[in-house]
Structure 1
Amino acid sequence: MNQTQSLLIIGFVWPEPNSSAAGGRMMQLISLFQEQGFQVTFASPAQDSDFMVDLSQYKVEKKSIALNSSSFDTFVKELNPTIVLFDRFMIEEQFGWRVAKNCPNALRILDTEDLHCLRLARQKAFKEKREFQTTDLLVEEVAKREIASILRSDLSLMISEFEIELLKTTFKIDSSLLYYLPLLLESDQIPDLEKLPSFENRKDFIFIGNFLHEPNWNAVQYLKEAIWPLIKKELPEAVLNIYGAYPSQKVLQLNNLKEGFLIKGRAENANEVVLKARIVLAPLRFGAGIKGKLLEAMQCRTPSITTSIGAESMQADLSWNGFVEDNLEIFAKKAVELYQDKKLWLAAQINGIAIIEKRYLRSSFEVDFEERVEFTLNNLQQHRLNNFMGELLQHHTLKSTMYMSKWIETKNKNSN
């Protein structure tokens, strides 16, 4: 690609690769586009955080922007990016119409992370103690916003094949608007087995996950109340280390030395703590997307036990690196079994590496991704003509959102 082409990423937050899989995913996208020859600018209306990555170290220009401000129009017009990448649908809602108005020829890409409406509809069904149905999505308020955002975008990056099928069947989204790009690993990110701690040199169970993410907090509660007591009964000396960024006071209060249930908070190096553990536990009861914690477990060759929600869209027809179990008694029983049985544990390790090699290696995706981006850029006019519903939504959004945003901007000026 032409070296002078530029990419503007508008972030919901500044990337924190050590805090969440979403932060790691964003750094992967930056790297993929840089390899295609793009100069990258990362803009966000978010406040700086203590754990954000130093973008200048990655040759990325950092720009703070404001919500509901025409200053963004001036900025984006001057930058005149070839591609604009929106980090989640909420950012496309805020800035998509401004990009469409000021840079009509820029390719607009949405990175969904996971399907928010699916996660929220499942969460609602769980709290109402009923089975989730795909028809729940049709009445989910967020679905209306998220699907509109997908339709307005030229291309949406999806990390889950299950979610792609859902969009195509339930919402009738054309496959030309969707692109499967999961979390990726470099081949050199998979350490040699000989260099890793052995079965005998590993101990304890581990859970890891950002506590700002509701499915993670729920899973920790589930472990504390129902699963861990069953495991502890069979393995009295066992310890469960709970790691995660942004633990609240209610999370910290679960710490109990006597029960071997230890809240450790943020891990300085997630890989390091997962490498030392013998088993990863991830009893997720709702959620969406694919789970960075489980891919990381495979990368560290640490077997895991999760639920069908946890493993969704991750393994295809390959064997899991441990067990996938929704029944809590069997979940606990399998955890004990895997913790004690070296032969079973070693077989699980091998399964995890097979999943990575067949489904998550960057080398399997980067060429096809570059070709898809280039093809869409070169055929943008026809691509948009084929997406009439998207153009219709863009037309009405431009009118309604534009006037609402201008009203907010005027109101803000008058109140200062």
Structure 2
Amino acid sequence: MSASPLHVLVIGYAWPEPTSPAAGGHMMQILESFLAHGWRITFSSPAAIGKHKADLASLGIGEQVIELNGDSFERFVSELAPDVVLFDRFMMEEQFGWRVEKHCPDALRVLETSELQSLREARHVLLRRRLTHGLDPNDFRELFATSGPDLYRQMAPTDLTQRELAAIYRCDLSLMISDVEINLLVNGFGVPPDLLHWCPLMLQVPSTAPRPFAERAHFISIGNLRHAPDWDAVLWMKHNIWPMIRRRLPDAQLHIYGAYAPAKAAALHSVEDGFLMFERADDALEVMGKARVCLAPLRFGAGIKSELTDALQVGTPSVTTPIGTEAMHGALPWPGLVSGTAEGLVEAAASLYSDEARWNQAQRDTRQLLGARYDRRWHSQTLVERIEQTLQDLPAQRLYNFTGAMLRHHQHKNAQYLEQWLEAKNRLTDDAADKCP
């Protein structure tokens, strides 16, 4: 254990928004874990500050707006001298990692991956390929069953995968929200397990009983509509799935809450069809807790799905695909129904919505799953312990992570060459200006 509280610098891709989907909520859970252990935190980001930003200052967290380019960040990080630097997604490590290496070489480098973006993109490519080849637009069982080796072959040649894996190797520890992704990295790409830590969403079992079947109505879907998998699911529901459900349940409605909804989303709204589009839910758990079934027909994606963990917390059974349940429930029963076809999802939705006994069992399963897999106290404690242990063993770990050392070396050297080139270019420009009459 550390003799004094650690000082953690977070370099955020965005300022955390607790009411936004998984990434913002997960970052807040990580910060709260550090605060509970008495650590000092400074949160920095080059992103614009949005109106839904968390009030970090009220939690005792320092805030600093940083620039993507220029010397100000280097002065800032050098003066701050943090013990731990947490990069929020690999793009932040790419941009700022070499500067941290230059000024704070002994700081522990932690990467919050949020999800494997390269896995999500590979699945998106496979989906588009299937759709453009004119295959059945409602049967995706073969797509969902894509094997690990096939995913590796799709991912390995891509620039995105190579960038993401390079950042994982350059860091001392990467936080993985999905144990399925850990398995892919270790057994597919050969990443040493010592570089990875399973850290899913950290949740609590509610102290009050969820609303019963009779007090709920309608279907619900919640997402970030700038997030490609969520938008794709909305379109699939609109054009394929919901019309079939509506024929089975003519009085049912589908309420879709979308953060960052594009203007084109408004055109999908139809009171006559019971397909209702809403803006961001101020309280996602409140609206989720009033719905009878969560509908999440995801055709591609990665990580774990925030709307499904929202459903777990308020006892709302769900209907989704194998992509939706991936890394969510382990060996425990899924609290709802799962299908890989549009027709199967429609049958599951109609059955779960109408069958009170089946619905009640699914609701009981939400509580079991929440306590067994997402326990906040356990994951918070193991995260802190893993960081402290890795910091203690840092010299040995870096010695044996030769690939990471090599990648950091070249990243740093390339940055030096770029700086030297820019300095030389500026000198030439200044000399030319001096010679002008």
What CA distance in whole angstroms lies between the structure 2 residues aligned with 1:221 and 1:67? 35
Asked if 2 retains the 8 angstrom alpha-carbon contact of 1:68 and 1:406, the reply is no
Aligned letter for 1:192?
T
Map of 1:8-407 to 2, 5 A cutoff?
8-129=9-130, 131=143, 132=146, 133-134=150-151, 135-187=153-205, 190-193=206-209, 196-404=210-418
- What are the ranges of 5 or more consecutive residues in structure 1 without an aligned counterpart? none
Q: How much has 1:3 moved relative to structure 2?
A: 4.2
The number of equivalent residue pairs is 411
What CA distance in whole angstroms lies between the structure 2 residues aligned with 1:319 and 1:57? 40
Q: How much has 1:253 moved relative to structure 2?
A: 1.0
1:105-157 CA-partner distances (Å, limit 9, x unpaired): 10000000000000001001111117452110112220000000000000000
Asked if 2 retains the 8 angstrom alpha-carbon contact of 1:204 and 1:278, the reply is yes
Q: How much has 1:401 moved relative to structure 2?
A: 3.5
Aligned letter for 1:79?
L
Q: Helix, strand or coil for the counterpart of 1:289?
A: coil
Q: How much has 1:318 moved relative to structure 2?
A: 0.7
Q: How much has 1:407 moved relative to structure 2?
A: 6.0
Q: How much has 1:58 moved relative to structure 2?
A: 1.4
- What are the ranges of 5 or more consecutive residues in structure 2 without an aligned counterpart? 132-142, 431-437
Q: Helix, strand or coil for the counterpart of 1:253?
A: helix
Name the CA shift for 1:150/1:40 in 2 (closer, same or farther; >3 Å).
same
What CA distance in whole angstroms lies between the structure 1 residues aligned with 2:416 and 2:92? 14
What CA distance in whole angstroms lies between the structure 2 residues aligned with 1:412 and 1:303? 62
What CA distance in whole angstroms lies between the structure 2 residues aligned with 1:396 and 1:247? 41
Identity in percent: 44
- Of 3-12 and 272-281, deviating more is 3-12
Aligned letter for 1:315?
H
Asked if 2 retains the 8 angstrom alpha-carbon contact of 1:239 and 1:261, the reply is yes
Aligned letter for 1:347?
Q
* Cα RMSD for the two superposed structures: 1.9
What CA distance in whole angstroms lies between the structure 2 residues aligned with 1:412 and 1:275? 60
The structure with the larger Rg is 2
What CA distance in whole angstroms lies between the structure 2 residues aligned with 1:302 and 1:412? 61
Asked if 2 retains the 8 angstrom alpha-carbon contact of 1:68 and 1:405, the reply is no
What CA distance in whole angstroms lies between the structure 2 residues aligned with 1:177 and 1:51? 33
TM-score normalised to the size of structure 1?
A: 0.95
What CA distance in whole angstroms lies between the structure 2 residues aligned with 1:3 and 1:185? 28
Asked if 2 retains the 8 angstrom alpha-carbon contact of 1:197 and 1:275, the reply is yes
What CA distance in whole angstroms lies between the structure 2 residues aligned with 1:401 and 1:229? 55
Name the CA shift for 1:412/1:197 in 2 (closer, same or farther; >3 Å).
farther
